[in-house]
Structure 1
């Protein structure tokens, strides 16, 4: 397969793929995905490919898992939980509660996790329930529970695949919110999260615990961004309407 790239405008490129007709379709997509990943890693980060966010393509799911595999066990824990913390204001909006910012100490982070566990238990949702085929606002609670359960399971087992899955469900939460209220864009929550997890993984792999302060600072910025989004009256009311809470 041969590739031609053309810059169409700021942050917009077109890729033309030329191949023999006998090449099976799965191999076409696989080869194109490898080319996209090379661009993403070596030239400039991609956001959407066609109409879909980059993170939903299998090659970029593999990219995420490879980056998690580079992390030692403590770094994997930090990487996963700061991702969930950035989405914590969404959980708070679903339940009409205030979720505190993650603190700088392990004790404060533990307290934050306990708070999220208690709030998650109030969602009347089972993680095994299937979300609708085209994700909608009513799926946000289910996606959160799937992320939470995967984060717990992955933390116990150390599975890079399970931890990566947890953060992909967080990405889905933000994508649903963007689509419901603003549309997917470079200014949205999902795009900000896609930058954050990548930088977190790279810095933790390169500097280990030395990157912790910078990662937590980035997490707090993300928390404030999602909190401001969820504080909008229309957003908070819509999330409460679809929450399905217990207790």
Structure 2
């Protein structure tokens, strides 16, 4: 987007398509951040310039989007987290964005992808945001699209190994072992102690690392297996007063 060998700074108004771009998409939100941090990109330094007003066009909270003298330290820190994760995505060759979707190439050859929603702030399965928008259009009309859209599959990261995958061989302790209750998606929740952009940065690093994420998923699958075995050993017909077989 920005030529690091050129000192020319383009007016943000010329880089941002205010009238036609879909600013629900992270790809177009990225354009806003890039437009205001051109000098930082050229100089190879941390992004530190918050956009003037254009983030109001996005689904980002107004309190975060517009700087004010009365801003709390919490809001200021949140903006720094957004600057950090957007720069990380922009600068990292292993991360690409297309519309709502972020795709990550792991260092061991595996691929991860997910959609980003700014309101609500979640990541979800690739294509899920578009699917939900189309459902809203069909049910209650286009005029509601700019309002928060309820997403059905949140905290989902899709991967390339498919369902019932074998843990990649490079993963310590679990490499080469079979899973039994896995799908082509992994549930990775946001830590309540983290801001959303900070959690997003952690997730991106986890996907690039391409190792610990498999350990986390494998352990969850092992725990699911233990629960199933416990049920079969103690309540092969179902738990009394809970399962429909006993009704």
TM-score by length of 1: 0.27
By relative contact order (CA 8 Å, sep 6+), the higher-ranking structure is 1
Based on CA coordinates, which of the two structures has the bigger radius of gyration?
Answer: 2
Structure with higher helix content? 1
